[in-house]
Structure 1
Amino acid sequence: MTGLDRKIREEGAEDLSTDTVMRVTGKAPVSFQQFAQRHAGIWMRELDSTMTF
């Protein structure tokens, strides 16, 4: 099992991509980092609206 983990971590053994996002949405896929950066403002506004002091 640790051998598999090492192959995934060090060699990217499961670093696969498909065309599913493009086929389903018609838009190119983006990384999670890109998605998070684009939507950070929305999450921050929601967080601010739920905070009470």
Structure 2
Amino acid sequence: MSHYHQLTAFDRGRIEVLLREGLSMRSIAKEIGRSASTISREIARCVG
């Protein structure tokens, strides 16, 4: 059984807003309760 949870549309929206506000990936991760690597992968997926 997996312990992973997909990011919700709400989480993705928060990542976008927080990035525009200039927060670091680590700060965003703390803000939404996810790992910095999750945030990094999500940003790379959306940009790339």
Same fold flag (TM > 0.5): no
Q: Which has the higher contact order (CA 8 A, sep 6+)?
A: 2
Q: TM-score, normalised by structure 2?
A: 0.32
Structure 1 length normalisation: TM-score?
Answer: 0.29
